[in-house]
Structure 1
Amino acid sequence: MPVTLALDTATPFLTLALAWEGGTLEISREVGRAHAERLADATRELFGEAGLPFRADTLVIGTGPGSYTGVRVGASYALGLGRVWSAPVLGVSTLEGLVQGSGRQAVSQDARKGNVYSAVYDAQGGVVQQTVEPVAKREATEFTATLDGLPHHQDTPPSGLSLLRAGLAHGVREWQLAYL
């Protein structure tokens, strides 16, 4: 199995994951706005902890929605590594990192001023299989009122392994960043 690195800097959390033939490893640390200061060292530490050389065959980036600077820090770093390593950089929505387990579920992140960025997905094993409601900015109380008992993962740290699996399953090479 080739080595895959996933990263997300769209939220207050620095989220990283690695997958390789020998296993998987992920971290999610609250860093506030210090992504630029912590991303490179945390990535090298992750490879070191896995006992792997600092090189991946594929990268997956969480494309937001998120803070303007945070999203751009992660995307720039991933694109730089992708170029140096001659590896593709696949993009998926950061909201896919909030998906847990299997079944239909709602996910959302605070978009300020009473709004959320939200989506509803059908998932299997923590990977989105179908988008029921696409990512959109919605009024928070209006969105939660429509859930009718659906599991709702709100403002949780993204899972690096969920992003990684989503990227490998359906990540796109022509992605765009989404800002708050």
Structure 2
Amino acid sequence: MNTASPAPMPTLALDTATPFLTLALVWPGGHRQLSKEVGRAHAEQLPGMARGLFAEAGLPFRAQTIVIGTGPGSYTGVRVGASYALGLARVWESPVKGVPTLEGLVQGDGRQAVSLDARKGHVYGAVYDVSGGVVTSVIHPPQKLSAGDFEALAGPVPHHQGGVPDGLALLHAGLAHGQTDWSLAYL
């Protein structure tokens, strides 16, 4: 009789709020992540890239938890990721935890501002305290402001504008404090 318990399943993170498709996978003993600029082709690229990530890791296509970047982003972009995550969650009977895409833009530790271009002189930004690469407290929650107003609000802290969301940062944020009652944010 085999009494060994099954191995813990991996956690998958995905973000489709920016022109990049960002994925991360963590399991006991390893992790993988990838980001690819896909423009508006998230729906066409996401299923194959997600399956490929599991295949590269040598794992069956199933996760215990799914973390989703909830935006801000384009209306279609964030909905593609959310729909895909919710579909997988239903099949896998896994929870979906949401975190703002902005948390994937943090770098290093300490207080920092992060923002994405919201067009017409505006940004969608937030100010966070970060430790171990994970947001530990929200100083100013994500909001849309003029670029000048956001700079004044953020003050003299490092400011990371745009860029590629880090899948592992999103994944760890989701495990640390992701919400199951998330909503999407649009630019």
Superposition TM-score tier, normalisation by shorter sequence: over 0.9
Report the alpha carbon displacement of residue 22 of structure 1 after superposing the two structures with TM: 1.7
In the alignment, which of 47, 62, 69 is matched to residue 62 of structure 1?
A: 69
2:47 and 2:140 map into 1 onto residues whose CA distance is 34
Pairwise CA RMSD: 0.9
Say whether 1:77 aligns with 2:84: yes
Write the mapping of 1:46-57 to structure 2, written as runs, cut at 5 A: 46-57=53-64
Show the counterpart of 1:174: 181
Deviations 1:2-37 (A, max 9, x none): 310000000000000000002111101111000000
- 1:89 equivalent to 2:96? Answer yes
Residues 57-81 of structure 1, C-alpha deviations (whole Å, 9 max, x = no match): 0000000010000000000000000
Contact 2:9 2:62 in 1 (8 A): no
Q: How does 1:29-178 map to 2 (within 5 A)?
A: 29-178=36-185
- Normalising by structure 1, report the TM-score: 0.97
- In structure 2, the gaps of 5 or more residues are 1-7
Structure 1 unaligned residues grouped into runs of 5+: none
Q: Which runs of 4+ in 1 moved over 4 A?
A: none
Give the length in aligned residue pairs. Answer: 180
1:121 match: secondary structure: strand
Which amino acid is the alignment partner of residue 80 of structure 1?
Answer: G
- Correspondence for 2:15: 8
C-alpha distance in structure 2 between counterparts of 1:131 and 1:147, whole Å: 12
CA deviation profile, 1:68-122 (whole Å, cap 9, x unmatched):
0000000000000000000000000000000111100000000111100000000
Q: What CA distance in whole angstroms lies between the structure 1 residues aligned with 2:128 and 2:156?
A: 14
Identity over aligned pairs, percent: 68
Note if contact 2:127-2:154 (Cα within 8 Å) is conserved in structure 1: no
